[in-house]
Structure 1
Amino acid sequence: MSKPYAVVAITKHGVEIARRLQAGLAGTDVYYPAQFARGDETALGIYAYDGSVTQYIPELFVRYDGLIGIFSLGAMVRLVAPLLKDKKTDPAVVVIDDRAQHVISVLSGHLGGANQLTQQVARCLGAEPVITTASDVSETLAVDLLGREFSWEIENFEKVTAVSAAVVNEQQVQIVQEAGERNWWPYSKPLPPWFCVYSSTQAAMHDPFDAALVITPRLLTLPEQEHLLTNGVLYRPKVIVLGVGCNRGTKAEEIESVLVQTLRDLRLSERSVRNLATIDVKQDEPGLLEVCERRAWPLVTYTAAELNQVSLAQPSETVYRYVGAWGVCEPAARLSSGAKDWVLEKVKSGNVTVSVCMVTADA
């Protein structure tokens, strides 16, 4: 798959619509019957197929992020029904009628992006978007999408359905946000009165509620879990920066073990790590790169001159002698996070040193 979307047509009118979409919607592959070929398909990268569309849909369903069918809703439902797995893995599915009057979001409206794709296709064709997801129609929070644009992770996805029901039914919902981006409300209208926002779990623990949205990098205590997560969704914002220093040749297992143990000691979630930070001479350190690959943690590096701009209470002459910086993990964490102070200034374990900072709102 070189492009995210597949557009499939089965009629002469559908072919015209498909060609319009290829021209107007970026990242689109087009498929239609060879009997309607116009001779320029190879030049345009259009796939003209023989036989029935039925034999091609299963492959397209797994190859693309979005499947756009220019045929009836009922036909699409019958075609994809045997292929469905779950909302976290199924692609976006959209249908367009044969006159391009309506574009309908069919499947994976939120996580798969079908609702957003429906809007894009409708704008491209000048058609009417049809979206039936309750949170979109009501212009309220989509529990499964909250913070997605900021890469927040949901830790207990099994609670999403019940909490979503409380949101769309306008029940009392606590939003407890201890960290992370604050501009998550997507609408120009004020937050509805059935949402109550708190800056800490402590502030929220004694007020009644029907459901909770908890945004924190902390590992919750057992009482917090029992109170807030019985009908609550836990989000992990990407707010932790780990400054790392290590001796040359340190194994990935040692580096990873020290990082994970440090987070546990601080009662912070690994899911909230935004990135690692270190000096540029370590940008090719095999063990460090292996940890980053395993954990999908980006690595940010700084020159010695940049690191030396951060004042340290205990500059190291030994570190300076080897790399030209008075410290590595402490200033790297501060520079990457934008924080004014450390959660943990420095801890050394074996061949590894670690510093922990929290990302500031404007970093």
Structure 2
Amino acid sequence: MKATVFSFTRKGARLSAKISKVLEQQGYSTDCYTLNEFLSESPLLKSIETNLSTVVGKAFLDSSLLIFIGACGIAVRSIAPYIRDKQTDPAVICIDEQDRYIIPLLSGHIGGANRVAKNIGLQIKAEPIITTATDINGLIAIDEWAKRNNVVISDMSIAKKVSANLVDGQNVGFASDFEISGEIPEQFSVGSTRNCDVGICISLDESQKPFKTTLNLIPRIAFLGIGCKKGISSEAIEELVLEMLEKNNISIKALAGISSIDIKEGEKGLQEFSSKYDLPSAFYSANELNLLRGEFTSSDFVAEITGVDNVCERAATLLSQGGNLVSKKTVKNGVAAALAFKSWRVIFEE
């Protein structure tokens, strides 16, 4: 994770160096920018060599967190040209130079600005000023919960409707295909779907619509294993994968990664498919795949070519960290695919 901190006064420059060390403990790699006359305050400081807008624009693209030490107005004017979408915008926080208050300005939930502000506030003894309605009313923030639990939100407009109902004191329906741990939020109505027009459905099957207005939440727990002929096209891979998902009533949004044997790492078709669906990829040696214990569909031909009796099932299982193989080897047009689920459950904080 990368963070960028901006300061504009001597006290702000000193504080940015302090915050950099706090962020480092939270796993961030941090760049701290200030004016030339304050660079001597810390070796961690870098100069805002060009105009501020240019530096902020670059940081907005490659950082997951931006912190402005100074007036909120400076921060707002600086980020305004670059704000696009709450699902992709980085977290933006403002702190006064006396480190009394820390204010999340942008992406409080999905970007984690609220959470980061609270964590930094504890470290520097600053008071977080949280303004999001669900937080100040002690309600669950669906978008933040989804991000924390690696769950895809099917429709942000419906997510806003769910949050609005919660803030308005209305119950929302709740249905889940998964085991639940922790206390279900008080305003979640479990049971008859006739009691609520608006509700949440946690399932791998995005077509499930138990409520008149259903917010589908899809856990990203499905992992693909692929074996293929040399020079295979991304279209051939996509055709088989989509058929497999449809057969098993699994949304493509549930996919969390794709894997194969290392000799296929350079396959253009695999690269194009994983890029299209933004899937991280992993490639394993024959030895790594052979070490995996379990019952797999064996092929002497595959073993002769690759050194392992089955690529797709073993790769999917390995990538899912020993998960459940829900769709075994399926072959079509030179592609072999398998699908495994990583163990997952709905967790609500106690």
Query: TM-score range, shorter-chain basis?
Result: 0.7 to 0.9
Q: For 1:85-234, what aligned pairs fall within 5 Å after superposition?
A: 85-179=84-178, 182=180, 190-197=183-190, 206-220=193-207, 224-225=208-209, 227-228=210-211, 230-234=212-216
Instruction: Report the 3-state secondary structure (helix = DSSP H, G, I; strand = E; otherwise coil) of the residue aligned with 1:144.
Output: helix
Q: Which amino acid aligns with 2:156?
A: F
The farther-off stretch of 147-156 and 96-105 is 147-156
Distance in 2 between residues matched to 1:29 and 1:308, nearest whole Å:
42
Distance in 1 between residues matched to 2:226 and 2:58, nearest whole Å:
44
Q: Does the Cα contact within 8 Å between 2:316 and 2:340 map onto a contact in 1?
A: yes
Instruction: Report the 3-state secondary structure (helix = DSSP H, G, I; strand = E; otherwise coil) of the residue aligned with 1:166.
Output: helix
Instruction: Report the 3-state secondary structure (helix = DSSP H, G, I; strand = E; otherwise coil) of the residue aligned with 2:258.
Output: strand
Q: Which amino acid aligns with 2:202?
A: I
Q: Does the Cα contact within 8 Å between 1:307 and 1:332 map onto a contact in 2?
A: no
Distance in 1 between residues matched to 2:285 and 2:98, nearest whole Å:
56
Q: CA distance change for structure 1 residues 265 and 21 in 2, over 3 Å: closer, same or farther?
A: same
Q: Which amino acid aligns with 1:33?
A: L
> What's the Cα RMSD here?
3.3
Q: CA distance change for structure 1 residues 8 and 279 in 2, over 3 Å: closer, same or farther?
A: closer
Q: CA distance change for structure 1 residues 260 and 10 in 2, over 3 Å: closer, same or farther?
A: same
1:16 to 5, 14, 30: 14
Q: CA distance change for structure 1 residues 232 and 283 in 2, over 3 Å: closer, same or farther?
A: same
Distance in 2 between residues matched to 1:336 and 1:173, nearest whole Å:
36
Q: Which amino acid aligns with 1:194?
A: Q
After superposition, what is the alpha-carbon deviation per residue over 1:77-101, rounded to whole angstroms, capped at 9, x for unaligned? 4554454333233332222223211
Corresponding position of 1:35: 37
Corresponding position of 2:348: none
Distance in 2 between residues matched to 1:16 and 1:58, nearest whole Å:
23
Taking structure 2 as the reference length, what is the TM-score of the superposition? Answer: 0.81
Corresponding position of 2:46: 46
Q: Does the Cα contact within 8 Å between 1:163 and 1:231 map onto a contact in 2?
A: no
**2:336 is the alignment partner of 1:353:** yes
Q: Which structure has the larger Rg?
A: 1
Taking structure 1 as the reference length, what is the TM-score of the superposition? Answer: 0.78
The alignment-based identity, stated in percent, is 27
Q: Does the Cα contact within 8 Å between 1:242 and 1:354 map onto a contact in 2?
A: yes
After superposition, what is the alpha-carbon deviation per residue over 1:14-56, rounded to whole angstroms, capped at 9, x for unaligned? 2332232234332332233333443x66x434225698x6786
1:311 to 275, 295, 319: 295
Give the C-alpha shift of residue 104 in structure 1: 1.3
Instruction: Report the 3-state secondary structure (helix = DSSP H, G, I; strand = E; otherwise coil) of the residue aligned with 1:110.
Output: coil
Distance in 1 between residues matched to 2:270 and 2:82, nearest whole Å:
40
Corresponding position of 2:226: 244
Q: How many residues are treated as equivalent by the alignment?
A: 338
Distance in 1 between residues matched to 2:85 and 2:290, nearest whole Å:
47
Unaligned runs of 5+ in 2: 346-350
Instruction: Report the 3-state secondary structure (helix = DSSP H, G, I; strand = E; otherwise coil) of the residue aligned with 2:123.
Output: helix
Corresponding position of 1:200: none
Q: Does the Cα contact within 8 Å between 1:245 and 1:328 map onto a contact in 2?
A: yes
Distance in 2 between residues matched to 1:85 and 1:148, nearest whole Å:
18
Q: Does the Cα contact within 8 Å between 1:174 and 1:209 map onto a contact in 2?
A: yes
Distance in 1 between residues matched to 2:82 and 2:172, nearest whole Å:
35
